């Protein structure tokens, strides 16, 4: 379990505040994350890394001289929003463009990609690179589908050292791609992790067993085996990685490698050194030359018990970048000339988010979107206890509280940005960030993904029409399924979202008005939510008590059905008033 926290919903924000207070000589806080508090070389590329919080020292701990210029920090295990990434990139921009780097997860790909497009639209050169080092997450013929894990550090290091050396954006990107192509990681887990306030781990591994290739958020691995000895684990690591040579390397003998033995949270340094003892022996036997190995915690997962081994196959260029000095809160190498600190005025925290310009039509639409959010908030407050009771049958009973916190945070933010002239799209995207921040947990992250997708589809230029709304709902469905990994039949909100989205899009395509299409789809959602009572949960915290939940619908499915029906009722009222006028 996670022992020290105040309000679980405030954990991510409070950890950033404390991290900055402890490392003010290296980092300062901006809206969405942190950037260097020291002066960077003008007209050099800025490298921004990022992802969900809960993986320290990734990502904030890697900000500083010789490494990242900034880190966008999402909620716990949740991608930062496009707005957060944009804010961090703007604050760190040195005049020569920005490279955005992250692990290859659906939410990160979506949000970093959106931020990149926005930066480009404003005339800032920008590129993105998703790290794909986890060999267990996809086969050799699908390298682009692999996840990013502890190999993030190798790829980040190469890109950041290249930027520090003055290479232009295209060269920095090329070197980062080269490092990514030559980086491989294999990990194992012995037990799951628990987020602050959670009474159950996000995932579990049977006692005395080891999960091979399990992801850092509990994503599926390859298989489970009996718990090995330290030497046996080292042999598994090295054997797996030596069978995964990069395409441009024929034989390992004589090659140079950067090595990272990473602890995922509960496996401590002494244990890692015992494992590395055997790793070093095996690499020497394979006639590999190890260059400046790192043993410790580099990408963690709260209190997850597990470890991973990373190899980056070096050439002269990559070795130079790997050896280059760095000075960050969590990673130091060599010796750097300490950069000049920013002035007191420059170090003041920047927390207000810039809003894109919006047309008068979109600003008016934003007011209607705010009314919808307020109506949803009132409904969820009335139903919070009921949703909690449903969730308590096989979960921990906090679904209603989480939804209430999330929507109230979203409404507060929506009111703020509406008063500042936000368009409908920006209002929903800011509300999405607030929902994810305040709700916490998986549900909060998924609602953040959903509202961001809908806001992005609506934009800030035109009055939302049926087609744009239907497209946004479809993209919300796809984003949630990618991020949450649930499918129809798993007894989650997806069992409602998929038929709702499909029905809405079919009706709009057939020419129905938004109100008529939405009301029809809401009826479909109602039935789908009730039908989840007969399903056995295959994901989430209800899975360990799966049979107990049969006969009770899924709380997330019910809350989604309630929300779409509340929106439908308001759309119907608005349509009737317009016709009456």
- CA distance linking residue 580 with residue 419, whole number of Å: 29
Burial (Cβ within 10 Å: 0-12, 13-18, ≥19) of residue 354: exposed
Give me 551's structure tokens: 């006969």
Residue 218 CA to residue 539 CA, distance in Å, equals: 11
Q: Is 331 exposed, middle or buried (0-12, 13-18, 19+ CB in 10 A)?
A: buried
Residue with tokens 């190899």: 311
Distance between CA atoms of residues 23 and 21, nearest Å: 6
Taking CA atoms, 51 is separated from 75, 104, 131, 424, in Å, by: 9, 10, 12, 26
- DSSP-derived secondary structure letter, 135: T
The helix or strand, by DSSP H or E, that contains position 86, with its residue range, turns out to be helix 82-92
The Cα 154–Cα 131 span in angstroms is 10
The CA-based angle 132-435-379, given to 5 degrees, is 140
User: Does the active-site annotation cover 217?
Assistant: yes
- State the angle between helix axes of 494-509 and 555-580 in degrees (0 to 180), rounded to the nearest 10: 30
Burial class (CB in 10 A: 0-12, 13-18, 19+), 164: buried
Dihedral sign for Cα 360, 366, 367, 369, please: positive
Q: 3-class DSSP state for residue 147?
A: coil
CA atoms of 447 and 399, how far apart (whole Å): 13
> Three-class SS of residue 75?
strand
- Residue reference for tokens 């004589």: 254
- N-to-C CA span, the chain: 58
* Inter-residue contact 446 to 493 (CB < 8 Å): yes
Distance CA 7, CA 398 (A): 13
Which residue from 401, 184, 436, 172 is spatially nearest to 312, judged by alpha carbons?
184
Q: Give the strand pairing for 126-131 and 289-296.
A: unpaired
Alpha helices, DSSP H, located in 80-207: 82-92, 106-121, 152-164, 169-181
Tokens linked to 17: 């505040």
CA 375, 378, 381: angle at the middle one, nearest 5? Answer: 150
d(CA 319, CA 174): 15
- Marked catalytic residue, from 217, 399, 482, 574: 217
Question: What are phi and psi for residue 488, nearest 5 degrees?
Answer: -60, 130
- C-alpha 151/C-alpha 104 separation (Å) is 11
Specify whether the CB–CB gap between 114 and 456 falls below 8 A.
Answer: yes
Report the catalytic residues: 217
């Amino acid at each position: 379990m996670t022992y020290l926290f105040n309000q679980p919903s405030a954990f991510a924000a409070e950890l950033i505040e404390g991290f900055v207070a402890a490392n003010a000589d290296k980092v300062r806080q901006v809206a969405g994350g942190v950037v260097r508090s020291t002066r960077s070389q003008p007209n050099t590329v800025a490298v921004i890394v990022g992802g969900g919080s809960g993986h320290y020292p990734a990502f904030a701990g890697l900000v500083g001289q010789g490494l990242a210029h900034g880190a966008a920090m999402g909620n716990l295990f949740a991608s930062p929003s496009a707005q957060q990434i944009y804010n961090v990139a703007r604050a760190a921009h040195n005049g020569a463009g920005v490279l955005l780097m992250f692990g290859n997860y659906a939410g990160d790909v979506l949000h970093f990609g959106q931020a990149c497009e926005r930066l480009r639209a404003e005339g800032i050169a920008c590129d993105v690179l998703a790290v794909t080092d986890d060999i267990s997450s996809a086969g050799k013929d699908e390298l682009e589908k692999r996840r990013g894990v502890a190999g993030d550090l190798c790829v980040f290091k190469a890109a950041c050292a290249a930027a520090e050396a003055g290479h232009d954006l295209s060269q920095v990107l090329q070197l980062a791609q080269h490092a990514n192509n030559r980086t491989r990681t294999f990990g194992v887990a012995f037990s799951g992790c628990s987020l602050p306030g959670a009474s159950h781990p996000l995932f579990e591994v049977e006692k005395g067993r080891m999960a091979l290739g399990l992801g850092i958020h509990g994503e599926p691995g390859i298989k489970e085996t009996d718990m090995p000895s330290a030497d046996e684990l080292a042999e598994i690591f090295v054997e797996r990685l030596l069978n995964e040579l990069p395409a441009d390397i024929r034989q390992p003998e004589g090659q140079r490698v950067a090595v990272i033995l990473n602890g995922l949270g509960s496996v401590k340094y002494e244990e890692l050194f015992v494992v590395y003892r055997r790793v070093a022996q095996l690499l020497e036997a394979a006639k590999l030359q190890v260059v400046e190995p790192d043993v410790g915690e580099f990408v963690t997962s709260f209190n997850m018990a597990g470890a991973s081994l990373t190899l980056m196959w070096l050439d002269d260029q990559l070795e130079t970048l790997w050896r280059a000095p760095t000075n960050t809160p969590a990673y130091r190498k060599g010796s750097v000339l300490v950069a000049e600190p920013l002035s007191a005025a420059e170090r003041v925290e920047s927390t207000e988010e810039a809003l894109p310009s919006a047309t008068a039509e979109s600003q008016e639409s934003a007011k209607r979107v705010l009314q919808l959010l307020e109506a949803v908030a009132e409904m969820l407050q009335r139903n919070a206890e009921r949703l909690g009771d449903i969730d308590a049958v096989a979960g921990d009973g906090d679904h209603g509280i989480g939804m209430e916190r999330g929507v109230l945070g979203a409404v507060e933010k929506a009111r703020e940005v509406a008063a500042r002239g936000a368009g409908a799209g920006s209002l929903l995207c800011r509300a999405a960030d607030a929902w994810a921040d305040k709700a916490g947990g998986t549900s909060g992250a998924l609602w953040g993904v959903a509202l961001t997708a809908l806001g992005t589809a609506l934009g800030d230029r035109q009055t939302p029409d049926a087609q744009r709304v239907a497209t946004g709902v479809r993209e919300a469905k796809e984003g949630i399924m990618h991020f949450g990994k649930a499918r129809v039949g798993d007894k989650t909100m997806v069992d409602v979202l998929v038929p709702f989205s499909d029905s809405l899009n079919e009706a709009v395509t057939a020419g129905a008005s938004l109100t008529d299409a939405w009301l029809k789809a809401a009826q479909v959602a109602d039935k789908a939510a009730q039908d989840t009572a007969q399903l056995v949960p295959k994901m989430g915290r209800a899975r360990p008590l799966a049979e107990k939940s049969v006969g009770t619908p899924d709380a997330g499915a019910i809350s989604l059905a309630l929300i779409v029906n509340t929106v439908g009722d308001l759309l119907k009222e608005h349509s009737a008033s317009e016709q009456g006028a």
